[in-house]
Chain A
């Protein structure tokens, strides 16, 4: 019996190995030599440069994003990906370093031409651009794309920039409610020209023209919310397969003409995008070379951090890009004693900034200690540090105590801090506040809220956060730029007019008429340098009021998959430029 048991066990093992061996590895990734890898090699230059086409670029992500429909997506990773199959009027220049913040024409043949003091913007389309079925793309297709994207009751995921700025008629309904709907706010005098009329001057309209909503959509092929199941391509790739929530594959678009497109290399023959892989497994696959890109672009998981940072062979395939994102804490001036500026200043001085950084994962995975709201990569950023936290960045307790004295609370006070309960980093931040502020007598009571309801029901709802009974004095928060520009970063978090009684706004504490006026001034300014200076002024003015405690300017520790060519970080997305990558042959 003993021997039979051993034989059985051995037979099982042999069977298992035989099954696996018989089926083979299934890995057909071409192996090739690549340049010597180095840490941060793709940060400001192209790693493994190549113009060689071919191969399949393998991409994966642990959780799905909103949509692949260009008119219905609000994720940075998605805007990065959309460029593979869609062409917007203008785009960020696909180059490494700060050059990627520059806008260049894509479907249009030049940047927008403003007139009427910045209230009208005109674009001319390139000639010879076609949809995947060979139909020529006209300005009417661009207009239709923008019009459909504005229906937020159907395409719910996108932004409302066009709704908010275009001079739409009061009774405008959009093409989903009325197929014959039209608007004079967007005119198409001929097939190559599109003209946008705005309610008021907007100097940075080219940024709107960069949005995926300006990707052309053929009205006859539009299926509304189901258009995502077959987006009609205008870029170099078209959808081959699409399985909702599981992934998709892209293949070459035979009707894309390189002569009409100076921005795209279109190196791989195909893209294989898998959705829903285990996040830790994605890191392992990147390290082993089974995968080229983690589309999320938010960096490796905590489990992989020590492996990446301590193993030089792995670290050589890592980059540490800065992301235009700020993790911060809103200080609510509507909740006593924060109605007194000095009490808010006490918090600003007392907080240990290093503990904030540690809560978000430290220098590499978390980011740089922030001293103002605008991250350094936003054009116009002016270094400022109004509340210095001491040489060791652990807080200036003397100044904090002096501020408490000035606000009439020398022994400190009690305050409630809200955070998103399912986010360990925000919970750690709240605990860091609790410990740091206790040093000057400020007692912080922590209150976690469901992430999904945080902005809609609690912190984001004025009636809740400002209530004497449920008031939240401190609230963890975070914001990433829609694009690298003062408006793209600041407008949704410091303009008091975005606060809604119904909840949902990210602005939880900034209600300053002076700032609103500065924003209006910056928005209307068409001179880029003057506009950037105004945004820097907005940043400084909000900091002076001590209603936002900046925590960390985010960074991510990302991995370049082995076998990927032409890899570089596009600063506009804070991610690898998915448009430019290739596969080693």
Chain B
């Protein structure tokens, strides 16, 4: 069993399973290390770099206070938030809280922040993790709906375009795709709202969101425009990727062989052509979904959806560092996990990957 590039594939199933497990473990450790690096980098960006620019523990504390706060109030708050401690100690405390939780004194009481405790916002007086969980259903709803929409339409249009290369449909679809990629969500979203919600009264106005568990119909109604807006952007890109992949694949020898064997064209396209062309699409899809789960900032802001993206932009605007740290780690987690899943899927689809 000669493998590609001269590598020998293992013979026995037990040995093969061992390699698969080793691969998964290796990748998982890599993912955890990546998260660790992201956490250090994020912490240094928000707590280390400002110090180099002259920020003091008091000026850090001043961000949590009103402008009328005097020096004493700033000192008390800096003490309370641990800004006088060395950076490594502050970071260590933050990491420790993620694993074992911690208590926060919010001035008139103590609040226990259970693990995984991603910090405590002294602006909202909430544990960041609680807020993140509160915002997650919106982002998950947006991502799931939009990703299904863009995957189906993007791949579908891409395949049809590839099969009808040079036709009117192909040219029209690719022009549409170019427009879809070029138009930012805050433009298309506002246009959709203007026409469908305020002129024709067909869809929900901005700022509307109903939980799936409350009413699935209203949930879909409240999200149809954000889904379409977000899907338009990605569907266009996916259509172009799929078309290019299909054109490459359909010119391969194994396709000619499949046709020569007398297989039905539909089988040749779907079973052989599309399957091969979809491999890179799966990679991109995984990463895109991971990225969006961390927050679709523009779409959420445009439609006034209180998901993780809006949470992130709001936290940045208010310089709420615990929230920024929390949402950054949360987003990084999704991206890293999506990467991990894609790697594993790849390994299943293409055995060569396990040996690399």
Cβ-defined contact, A281 with B124, below 8 A: no
The residues of B that contact A455 with a CB separation of less than 8 Å are: 67
A17 to chain B, nearest CB (A): 7
Q: Which residue of B lies closest to A457 (CB)?
A: B59
Q: Is the CB of A284 within 8 A of B221?
A: no
CA distance A274 to B209 in the complex (A): 11
Q: Are B77 and A281 within 8 A (Cβ)?
A: no
Complex Cα distance A457/B60, Å?
Answer: 10
In B58-88, which residues have CB < 8 Å from any A CB? 58-59, 62-71, 73-74, 76-77
B351 interface residue per 8 A CB criterion = no
**Are B69's CB and A504's CB within 8 A?**
yes
Does the CB pair A281–B190 fall under 8 Å? yes
A573 to B315, CA, bound (A): 28
Q: Is the CB of A176 within 8 A of B107?
A: yes
Q: Do A456 and B304 touch (CB < 8 A)?
A: no
Q: Indicate whether B294 reaches chain A with its CB closer than 8 angstroms.
A: no
Bound form: Cα–Cα A112–B101 in Å: 51
Tell whether B28 is near chain A: CB-to-CB under 8 Å: no
A12 at the interface (CB under 8 A from B): yes
Binds B, one of A98-106, A222-230, A318-326: A222-230
In whole angstroms, what is the CA distance A8 to B64 when docked?
Answer: 54
Q: Does A160 lie at the interface of the complex (its beta carbon under 8 Å from any beta carbon of B)?
A: yes
**A60 CA to B199 CA, complexed, in Å:** 20
Mark A2-45 against chain B: 1 for CB-CB distance below 8 A, else 0. Answer: 10010010001000110111111111000000000000000000
Question: What is the CA–CA distance of A23 and B223 in the complex, to the nearest angstrom?
Answer: 12
Shortest A456–chain B CB gap in Å is 5
Nearest B residue to A66 via CB reads B66
Listed stretches B200-208, B246-254, B334-342; interface member: B200-208
Tell me whether B218 is interfacial, beta carbon within 8 Å.
yes
B241 within 8 A of A: no
A277 to B197, CA, bound (A): 15
B303–A8 CB distance below 8 A? no
CB-contacts of B169-218 with A (<8 A): 169, 186, 189-190, 193-194, 196-199, 201-208, 217-218
Residues in B with CB closer than 8 Å to A176 are: 107-108
Q: Which residues of B contact A152 (CB under 8 A)?
A: 65-66, 68-70, 73
Complex contacts, A244 vs chain B, CB 8 Å: 124, 126, 131
Give A427-465 interface residues, CB cut-off 8 Å to B.
452-453, 455-457, 460
Complex contact A156–B153 (CB within 8 A): no
* Closest chain A residue, CB of each to CB of B196: A20
Contact of B92 with A by CB under 8 A: no
Give B285-314 as 1s and 0s: 1 = Cβ < 8 Å from A's Cβ atoms: 000000000000000011110100011001
Tell me, rounded to whole Å, the shortest Cβ–Cβ distance linking B250 to chain A. 15
Q: How far is the CA of A223 from the CA of B109 in the complex (A)?
A: 8
Complex Cα gap A156–B109 (Å) = 16
Of the residues A225, A245, A501, contact of B108 by C-beta under 8 Å:
A225
| Shortest distance between the CB of B319 and any CB in chain A (Å) | 5
Which of A285-293, A336-344, A347-355, A540-548 touches B? A285-293
- A278 near B65 with CB under 8 A, answer no
B246 CB, nearest partner CB in chain A, Å: 14
Is the beta-carbon distance between A276 and B190 smaller than 8 angstroms?
no
Whether a CB of chain A sits under 8 angstroms from the CB of B38 is no
Whether B64 contacts A156 by the Cβ 8 Å rule is yes
**How many A residues touch B, CB cutoff 8 Å?**
65
A456 in contact with B71 (CB, 8 Å) = no
Q: A244-B124, A290-B205, A502-B58 are in contact. Are A224 and B109 (CB under 8 A)?
A: yes
B193, B202, B314: the one within 8 Å of A284 (CB): B193
A116 part of interface (Cβ distance < 8 Å): no
For the complex, give the distance between the alpha carbons of A63 and B138 in Å: 18
Q: Give the residues in chain B near A460, CB-CB below 8 Å.
A: 67
A156 touches B70 (CB 8 A): no
Chain B residues positioned under 8 Å from A284 (CB to CB): 190, 193-194, 198, 206
CB of B74 within 8 A of CB of A276, answer no
Distance to closest chain B CB from A286 (angstroms): 10
CB < 8 Å neighbour of A156 from B69, B169, B205, B311: B69
Give the contacts of B222-257 with A (CB-CB under 8 A): 224, 228
Bound Cα distance A504, B302 (Å): 33
Q: Are B207 and A277 in contact (CB under 8 A)?
A: yes
Q: Are A278 and B70 in contact (CB under 8 A)?
A: no
Partner of A276, one of B62, B202, B314: B314
| Residue A393 interfacial (CB < 8 Å) | no
Q: Are B108 and A224 in contact (CB under 8 A)?
A: yes
Instruction: Determine the residue in chain A with the shortest Cβ distance to B126.
Output: A244
Contacts of A277 in B (CB 8 A): 206-207, 304
Q: Is B220 an interface residue (CB 8 A)?
A: yes
CA distance A63 to B203 in the complex (A): 23
Say whether A281 contacts B221, CB under 8 Å. no
Cβ of B116 under 8 Å from chain A = no
Q: Which residues 477-527 in A have Cβ within 8 Å of B in the complex?
A: 500-506
Q: Report whether A156 and B202 are in contact in the complex, using a CB–CB cutoff of 8 Å.
A: no
Contacts of B64 in A (CB 8 A): 156
B6 close to chain A: CB less than 8 A = no
Min distance, Cβ A530 to any Cβ of chain B, angstroms: 28
Q: In the complex, are the beta carbons of A25 and B201 less than 8 A apart?
A: yes
Question: Assuming the A-B contacts A281-B304, A456-B62, are A290 and B197 also in contact, with contact meaning beta carbons closer than 8 angstroms in the complex?
Answer: yes
In the complex, chain A residues whose CB is within 8 Å of the CB of B70: 152, 500, 502
Residue ID in chain A nearest B64 by CB atoms: A156
A159 at the interface (CB under 8 A from B): yes
**Smallest CB-CB separation from A158: which chain B residue?**
B66
**What are the residues of chain B within 8 A of A222 when measuring CB–CB?**
108
User: Can you report 14 A-B residue pairs in the complex whose CB atoms are below 8 A from each other?
Assistant: A17-B202, A63-B317, A74-B68, A151-B107, A152-B68, A226-B108, A276-B314, A278-B302, A280-B190, A281-B303, A456-B62, A457-B59, A502-B58, A503-B62
B interface residues with partner A (beta carbon < 8 Å):
54-55, 58-59, 62-71, 73-74, 76-77, 106-109, 124-126, 131, 153, 156, 160, 163-164, 169, 186, 189-190, 193-194, 196-199, 201-208, 217-218, 220-221, 224, 228, 301-304, 306, 310-311, 314, 317, 319
Q: Other than the known A153-B77, A277-B206, A281-B302, what 18 A-B pairs have Cβ atoms closer than 8 Å?
A: A5-B169, A19-B220, A26-B221, A64-B314, A153-B73, A154-B108, A156-B64, A156-B66, A276-B310, A281-B207, A284-B190, A288-B197, A453-B55, A453-B59, A457-B54, A502-B71, A503-B62, A504-B68
8 cross-chain pairs, A with B, having the tightest CB-CB distances, nearest first: A224-B108, A23-B221, A288-B198, A277-B304, A154-B107, A281-B206, A277-B207, A502-B71
